[in-house]
Amino acid sequence: MSSVDRSADALRRALRTIPDFPEPGIQFQDITPLLANPNLLARAADVLAAPFADAGITQVLGVESRGFILAPLIAQRLGAGFVPVRKEGKLPHDTITTSYELEYGTDTVEVHADALNADDHILIHDDVIATGGTAAATARLVEQTEAALAGFSFLIALADLNGRDALPADAAVHTALPVAGA
Ligand code: AMP
C-alpha cells in the first residue's frame, strides 16, 4: 500500500456516518473524530493541499461552515490566503452574491467583492460534495471576478450523487475520500 493510500485509509477510518441526521434519509458524514486527532488533522490538510502544490494558488475559498475548518490549513501549506464564503448577510463589507437551488427553496452564498483580484488563482474547498450545488455556486462567485479558478478540493465526495458533474468540466477536482452512498 502506498503512503497516499495509507493516509486515505487512516482518514477514512476516522469518519463516522450518522444515519438520518439532520433529517430522515440523510447519511451525515461526521468529520469531528478526524479533526480531534492531531496526526489525522495534519494529514488531511497535507493530502488536500498536495495536488495543488504547483498550481500557484494564491487564495483558498472555504465554504461556510465546515469548509472553514480545513481551508486555512490547506492555505498555509500552499502559501496562500484564506477567503470565507458565507451565507447571505454575514459579511460586513461589499459583497458578490449568487443563489442556488436546494431541494426545497434556494440558498445564497457571498464573498467580499474586494477579496479576489485579477492576479489570484483560486482553490475552492469544502468538507463534503454531495449534489455539487454549493461548490458550483461558489465557482460562479469566482466567475464574477477577474480571478482565475484553479480547482476544487473536497475531503469527502458522496459518489452516488455525481456532484462532480455540476462543476465546470475543465476544472481540476480532487477528493481525498470518495465514499459510496448519498
Ligand atoms: P451539496 O451542495 O449538495 O454538494 O452539499 C454540500 C454541502 O452540504 C457541504 O457544505 C456539506 O458540508 C453539506 N453536506 C451535504 N450532504 C452532507 C452529508 N451527507 N454529510 C455531511 N455534510 C453534508
pLDDT at 130: 95
pLDDT at 181: 66
Yes or no: say if 115 and 146 are a contact pair by the CB < 8 Å rule. no
Distance between Cα 59 and ligand 1 center (Å) = 22
Distance between Cα 166 and ligand 1 center (Å) = 14
User: Which positions are catalytic?
Assistant: 66, 103
Closest-CA residue to 34 (of 153, 160, 176, 161): 176
- Model confidence at 102, pLDDT cuts 50, 70, 90, reads confident
- Model confidence at 51, pLDDT cuts 50, 70, 90, reads very high
Residues 171-180, mean pLDDT to the nearest whole number: 91
pLDDT at 4: 79
| 109, 134, 164, best to mutate for ligand 1 pocket (most atoms within 8 Å of CB) | 134
pLDDT at 7: 85
Residue 103 pLDDT exceeds 90 = no
Torsion from C-alpha of 82, 5, 129, 139, nearest 10 degrees: 50
67: enclosing H helix or E strand: helix 67-78
The ligand 1 atom nearest the CA atom of 131: 3
Distance between Cα 128 and ligand 1 center (Å) = 5
Q: Cell triple for residue 4?
A: 497516499
| Residues whose CB falls within 8 Å of the CB of residue 146, separated by 6 or more in sequence, listed in order | 116, 117, 118
pLDDT at 128: 97
Residue 1 pLDDT exceeds 80 = no
| 108, 124, 128, best to mutate for ligand 1 pocket (most atoms within 8 Å of CB) | 128
pLDDT at 182: 57
pLDDT in tens, 76-96: 999 999 999 999 999 999 999
